[in-house]
């Protein structure tokens, strides 16, 4: 039996602990907070989107960074294994839109309780309110960790499961990156991701609170003339206007793909407010509406077409006078209106910060980690699992899947080395 220290009692740390304990290993989990899994508790708006019920091979298309690195560990402990794991622990699950898997109770606390109860049942040594401040090496092998009060705790293996930098109030303050660097590892550039966008135009902020369903967005380099209208990201779904810019599912997914680019340049977004209609169909629809409202002013012509909050902004951007009689609106003006509705424009100036980011992009360089075992290629007995690694995915339960699979891989390697 070996003695493993796990730094961090989040999703990955808890999964690693359970897999080790079930195989008779001795485990101590150090968690700086007063309780385990603070971030897990707030996942999925308190409902915990624990994984995704897609075909296993479809997981990889939802991994943004280093999906090949995750092949072995996900195939060894996939989304269906995760569902079976929670089922066995007595947490019934359900599948929702987009194959998102949640506890049937809609309570993340049920997932958290199942994990913590299992750790306790298996005799895990759980050190709450205890920060690890350092990893101690004996040349190229770990020998233990040092806690915040300066105590040395010896260990045969150390698993770093400290998470990233997002939502630092949950305890993930980037300590793992410091440990990695100290042990000679490279940490790739870090960025908030799955995070809302800041937007330049004031008219977008006027739309605060407006939520749009069934729209499509295209995001391009700011100078579309130079780039030849190259579309960097395109998605259909739901978005939301806020006091700083835009948020909502399609925006968060866009940030996963464009986070690095937005650090150095602005991007241009166009929202198609009526994606189900072609330009010609939309023009015909507007003509029909106009025919019924001949003597009304333009400002009253869009009520059946657009959400109320959007109308004054669209009127202003169209350049058509709000008081103009509808029968006086020219074909050219109508074309401008159609173009605006099919491509409502704004400039994305950057990302919101880590306090609002679901995940951190970047992390411990995967070239220095064995993908089958999550073991450091530089230091014997050292493992990295979960968000601290340079792997990240889109929303839909995929980030937790990365945590579960990588944690399982590390635990199984430690078990194998003992047998
Ligand atoms: C609001 C929000 C909602 C989300 N919803 C979902 C979702 O529904 N589905 C999904 O798949 N993903 C979701 N995610 C992402 C997911 O929560 C993370 O990817 C996942 O929690 C990462 O797990 P982890 O164990 O690597 O890190 P964490 O869960 O962050 O755990 C790291 C732990 O390590 C502890 N720690 C850090 N440093 C030290 C130290 N030096 N000493 C001791 N302890 C330390 C921290 O206190 C923390 O408890 C969400 C994230 C956020 C912020």
**Mean per-residue pLDDT of the chain:** 96
Is the minimum distance from the CB of 253 to ligand 1 under 6 angstroms?
no
Q: How many CA atoms lie within 13 A of 269 on its CB side?
A: 30
Using the predicted structure, report yes or no on whether residue 418 has a pLDDT greater than 80: no
Domain with CATH 3.50.50.60 in the chain: 3-191+360-418
Task: Give how far Cα 198 sits from Cα of 204, 268, 386, Å.
Answer: 10, 12, 28
Is the minimum distance from the CB of 132 to ligand 1 under 6 angstroms?
yes
Q: What is the pLDDT of residue 71?
A: 98
Q: What is the pLDDT of residue 1?
A: 82
d(CA 159, CA 138): 16
Phi-psi category of residue 150: left, alpha or beta, with phi > 0 → left and psi -120 to 50 → alpha: left
Tokens, residue 229: 């209208």
What tens digit of pLDDT does each residue of 377-414 get?
999 999 999 999 999 999 999 999 999 999 999 999 99
d(CA 327, CA 32): 68
Mean pLDDT, range 114-119, rounded to an integer: 98
How far, in Å, from the CA of 172 to the mean position of ligand 1?
Answer: 7
Q: How many CA atoms lie within 13 A of 249 on its CB side?
A: 16
CATH fit for domain 196-352, picks 3.90.45.10, 3.30.930.10, 1.10.8.50, 1.10.3720.10: 1.10.8.50
What tens digit of pLDDT does each residue of 166-205 get?
999 999 999 999 999 999 999 999 999 999 999 999 999 9
Look up the pTM and report it: 0.94
Place 226 in a pLDDT band, splitting at 50, 70 and 90.
low
Q: What is the pLDDT of residue 11?
A: 98
> Residue length, the chain?
419
What tens digit of pLDDT does each residue of 334-354 get?
999 999 999 999 999 999 999
User: Please, which residues have CB within 8 angstroms of residue 65's CB and are 6 or more apart in sequence?
Assistant: 361, 362, 390, 391, 392
Is the minimum distance from the CB of 391 to ligand 1 under 6 angstroms?
no
Q: Identify whether the C-beta of residue 9 lies closer than 8 Å to the C-beta of residue 163.
A: no
Task: Give how far Cα 311 sits from Cα of 231, 302, 332, 340, Å.
Answer: 27, 7, 19, 12
Q: What is the pLDDT of residue 38?
A: 98
Q: What is the pLDDT of residue 223?
A: 80
SS3 content of the chain, % helix, strand, coil (to 5): 40, 25, 35
d(CA 76, CA 213): 38
Mean pLDDT, range 278-289, rounded to an integer: 96
Q: Identify whether the C-beta of residue 227 lies closer than 8 Å to the C-beta of residue 218.
A: no
Q: What is the pLDDT of residue 225?
A: 61
Domain with CATH 1.10.8.50 in the chain: 196-352
Is the minimum distance from the CB of 360 to ligand 1 under 6 angstroms?
no
Closest CA to 82 of 13, 159, 162, 15: 15
Mean pLDDT, range 247-275, rounded to an integer: 95
How far, in Å, from the CA of 1 to the mean position of ligand 1?
Answer: 29
Report, at the CATH architecture level, how domain 3-191+360-418 is classified: 3-Layer(bba) Sandwich (3.50)
Is the minimum distance from the CB of 358 to ligand 1 under 6 angstroms?
yes
Angle at 167 between CA 259 and CA 103, to 5 degrees: 100
Mean pLDDT, range 56-85, rounded to an integer: 97
- Which stretch of 12-21, 65-74, 217-226, 234-243 has the lowest confidence by average pLDDT? 217-226
Is the minimum distance from the CB of 392 to ligand 1 under 6 angstroms?
no
What tens digit of pLDDT does each residue of 143-168 get?
999 999 999 999 999 999 999 999 99
Using the predicted structure, report yes or no on whether residue 277 has a pLDDT greater than 90: yes
How far, in Å, from the CA of 199 to the mean position of ligand 1?
Answer: 28
How far, in Å, from the CA of 317 to the mean position of ligand 1?
Answer: 42
Q: What is the pLDDT of residue 138?
A: 95
How far, in Å, from the CA of 358 to the mean position of ligand 1?
Answer: 9
How far, in Å, from the CA of 163 to the mean position of ligand 1?
Answer: 5
Of all protein residues, the one whose alpha carbon is nearest to atom 23 of ligand 1 is: 11
Q: What is the pLDDT of residue 295?
A: 85
Closest CA to 76 of 329, 387, 371, 322: 371
What tens digit of pLDDT does each residue of 36-69 get?
999 999 999 999 999 999 999 999 999 999 999 9
Q: What is the pLDDT of residue 294?
A: 85
Using the predicted structure, report yes or no on whether residue 227 has a pLDDT greater than 90: no
Place 14 in a pLDDT band, splitting at 50, 70 and 90.
very high
Percent of the chain with pLDDT strictly greater than 90: 95
d(CA 416, CA 412): 6
């Amino acid at each position: 039996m070996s003695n493993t220290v796990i730094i961090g009692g989040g999703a990955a740390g808890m999964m690693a602990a359970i897999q080790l304990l079930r195989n008779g290993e001795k485990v101590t989990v150090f968690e700086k907070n007063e309780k385990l899994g603070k971030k897990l508790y707030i996942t999925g708006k308190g409902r915990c989107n624990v994984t995704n019920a897609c075909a296993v091979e479809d997981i990889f298309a939802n991994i943004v960074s280093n999906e090949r690195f995750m092949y072995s560990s996900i195939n060894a402990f996939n989304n269906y294994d995760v569902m079976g794991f929670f089922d066995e622990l007595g947490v019934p699950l359900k599948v929702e839109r987009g194959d998102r898997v949640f506890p049937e109770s809609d309570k993340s606390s049920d997932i958290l309780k199942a994990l913590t109860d299992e750790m306790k049942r298996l005799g895990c040594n759980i050190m709450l309110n205890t920060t690890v401040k350092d990893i101690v090496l004996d040349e190229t092998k770990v020998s233990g960790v040092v806690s915040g009060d300066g105590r040395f705790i010896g260990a045969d293996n150390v698993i770093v499961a400290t998470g990233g930098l997002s939502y630092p109030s949950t305890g993930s303050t980037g300590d793992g990156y410091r440990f990695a660097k100290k042990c000679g590892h490279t940490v790739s550039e870090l960025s908030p991701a799955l995070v809302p966008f800041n937007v330049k135009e004031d008219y977008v902020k006027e739309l605060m609170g407006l939520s749009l369903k069934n729209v499509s967005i295209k995001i391009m380099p700011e100078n579309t003339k130079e780039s030849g209208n190259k579309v960097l990201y395109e998605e259909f779904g739901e978005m939301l206007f806020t006091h700083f810019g835009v948020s909502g599912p399609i925006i968060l997914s866009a940030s996963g793909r464009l986070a690095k680019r937005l650090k150095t340049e602005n991007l241009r977004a166009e929202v198609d407010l009526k994606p189900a209609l072609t330009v010609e169909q939309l023009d015909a629809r507007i003509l029909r509406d106009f025919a019924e409202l001949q003597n009304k002013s333009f400002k009253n012509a869009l009520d059946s077409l657009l959400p109320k909050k959007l109308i004054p902004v669209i009127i202003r951007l169209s350049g058509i006078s709000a008081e103009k009689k509808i029968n006086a609106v020219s074909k050219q003006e109508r074309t401008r209106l159609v173009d605006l509705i099919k491509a409502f424009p704004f400039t994305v100036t950057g990302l919101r910060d880590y306090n609002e980011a679901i995940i951190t992009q970047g992390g411990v360089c995967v070239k220095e980690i064995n993908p089958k075992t999550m073991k450091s290629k530089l230091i014997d007995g050292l493992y990295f699992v979960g968000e601290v690694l340079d792997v990240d995915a889109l929303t839909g339960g995929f980030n937790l899947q990365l945590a579960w699979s990588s944690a399982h891989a590390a635990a199984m390697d430690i078990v194998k080395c003992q047998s």
